[in-house]
Amino acid sequence: MALILNRLHKLNANRYSAINGFGMTEMLISLAAGGLIIVGSGAALQSMQGMMSTSGSRATLRQNTTNGLQLLRTETTKADHLLVFETNQRAGEETDLNNYNGQNGAIDLCKNASSGLFEPIFGLRNSRQLAKLPIIYGIGLNANGFRYSLYRCGPAIAADGSYDTSNIYVATILDDIGVMPKKTCVDSQKNLIDCEEPVEISKEINGQEVMKPIREILTDTINKTTFNYQIEGDTSPTRTYREPALRFSTDQQRRLLTFMPSNPNYLDSNDEAIPSFLQMSTGLKSLSMQSLQFTAYARADKRITQNINGSIVLDGLFFRGEIQDNVRFLLDGSGSMQTCIYRSPTPVYVVSKRSWWGWSGRAKATYPCIVNRMQALKAELRTLLQDLHETAPNTMIGLESFSVAGNNNHRGWSFNGQSMSKIGNEEVLDSVLEFIDTIDEFQGSATNPWPGLQNALKDIDADTLFFLSDGEPTRNPNFGNGSKNNNFRGTAKDLNSMNNRRSNPMIINSIALGLESEWMQSLAELTGGDYNYVDVEDVASAQEQGESN
């Protein structure tokens, strides 16, 4: 390992030198990972520095973040488990990143390979592809020294997804991680107060007291002996004044990696803890701020299989059943899709705001949402499309989301003007994944699936439809004799009649999420499809019970 790691070199010139054996817990969180395998991820990683533009715009910051998180998710889903700084009874276990410390250890060699700061915070173990070599992620200063960055130390990723151990380097993954602000401390009564400086911010030069440059202050902050990312209760420590605005949590198996609020006392206008965040900046002036949301799970299984006659079968939590050559997905984009299905078992303490002149009162324990309905749905859909891209590249796919007319989530995807395109085309894959990312559960409104169902039936090439909704329609259909109040059996028959008038009737698979639906079940049965009721709240409850046992 030492011989391999001694080949470490610097990439960035601006850097200062119950499915398939899964338990209930794994089933839920693995779909949150999405199994996102980036095609050509080796080239993506090697060109990462070129993509890390510094134009200072919010759009640039968002794109840089997307690029970095895609790469991090790829590696996490390939890994056996996380490596973290274990404490107490877990110190020394195979998940303990401290095992790679010491002279000529991976941590020491990563630090030596970086001509700037590199303080490791977590790592990944992938025994199937890397027999001994860990992948280590660490915190350091960004290029201008006014913020932090997350760096990766490890082998390059080849175009086929394998690791190239002859090409190992330190690379930027997330640039411009924010700096924790001053007003994030509390006194003994849990009242919010200004934090004290964590390090000396001035120094003497030629007999005069001068202010240290911000680069030096931040360097001293993460070099201080109390700065660490040791795990206590499955979470890294609360981040304080001038420290990086990045905190994460994991699970007992060390397979979950999720970013969480950096400090429970740093609140937004709704008294909610602000997530880990990035800040694009020039000098000391912050130009834009972006929350850092990420959840991934190691060993995320693929979600498609091939049966004995070679047909493709989807085997996910939501999407199940045999598919043919031309598949459409119709997804609920209504506001109820933001409903949480799994909350962190570790509380975050929120200080209540009592009056306009300040903060007071004791901190209240809250349990942040880790995965909501839409995040779980989008994660599984990404995995399915990635798998189809690799396993069944000739499959034609179409995608549409629905809410109400005029809403961001009420629209269809197209590529070069076509509503269905071949998933084996890399540009098509990139386009549809980008479309999925734009479906925002927090922008959803009411539930009107009828235009989307009609569009699917009008598509004469489509032979299979997966229709998912988490609630009863809030609009009457503009056809047939269907009625409101979740009694749409007549509408199911009308839709089936429209389907039978097609030259090639389509199989409609319906997925009811969190709410049983007789009409959706009837629609699936009438068209020869499958009805799948997913009670995600029960799944989450079972998960929480499993963790407490």
Tell me the pLDDT tens digit for each residue of 254-265: 988 999 999 988
3-state helix, strand, coil in the chain (%, to 5): 30, 30, 45
In the predicted structure, residue 18 carries a pLDDT above the cut 90: no
Q: Exposure of 393 by Cβ count < 10 A (0-12 exposed, 13-18 middle, 19+ buried)?
A: middle
Q: What is the average per-residue pLDDT within 333-346?
A: 80
Residue 147: the pLDDT is 92
Residue 84 — very low, low, confident or very high, per pLDDT cuts 50/70/90? very high
Most confident of 116-125, 273-282, 467-476: 116-125
Grade residue 113 by pLDDT with cuts at 50, 70 and 90: confident
Q: What's the rounded mean pLDDT across residues 167-190?
A: 86
Greater confidence (162 vs 452) lies with: 452
pLDDT at 39: 25
Name which residue leads in pLDDT, 527 or 490.
Answer: 527
Residue 322 pLDDT > 90, yes or no? no
What tokens appear for 144 in the block?
């201008």
Neighbours of 423 (CB within 10 A): 24
Whether residue 432 has pLDDT greater than 80: yes
pLDDT, mean of residues 326-353: 78
- With 0-12 / 13-18 / 19 or more C-beta atoms within 10 angstroms meaning exposed / middle / buried, residue 376 is buried
Say which range, 294-303, 351-360, 365-374, 408-417, has the weakest mean pLDDT.
351-360
Quick one: pLDDT band at residue 352, thresholds 50, 70, 90? low
Q: Could you tell me which residue, 131 or 79, shows the higher pLDDT?
A: 79
Q: Measured between alpha carbons, how far is 121 from 335 in angstroms, rounded to an integer? A: 36
pLDDT exceeds 80 at position 546: no
Instruction: Please check the confidence at residue 63 and state whether its pLDDT lies above 70.
Output: no
280 or 514, higher pLDDT:
514
d(CA 206, CA 545): 64
- Average pLDDT, whole number, for the chain? 78
Residue 200, strand partner residues: none
User: 281 pairs with which residues across the strands?
Assistant: 286
The answer, yes or no, to whether residue 364 has pLDDT greater than 70, is: no
Q: Kindly list the structural domains of the chain, giving each domain's residue range(s) and its CATH number in brackets, ordered by start.
A: 2-182+215-297 (no CATH), 304-548 (3.40.50.410)
d(Cα 144, Cα 30) in Å, to the nearest integer? 37
Q: What average pLDDT does this structure show over 270-277?
A: 83
pLDDT for the residue 245: 95
Whether the pLDDT of residue 330 is over 80: the answer is yes
Model confidence at 95: pLDDT above 90: yes
Percentage with pLDDT > 70 across the chain? 75
Q: How would you class 168 by CB atoms within 10 Å of its CB: exposed for 0-12, middle for 13-18, buried for 19 or more?
A: buried
pLDDT for position 262: 92
Distance CA 510, CA 539 (A): 19
% of the chain beyond a pLDDT of 90: 37
d(CA 65, CA 58): 11
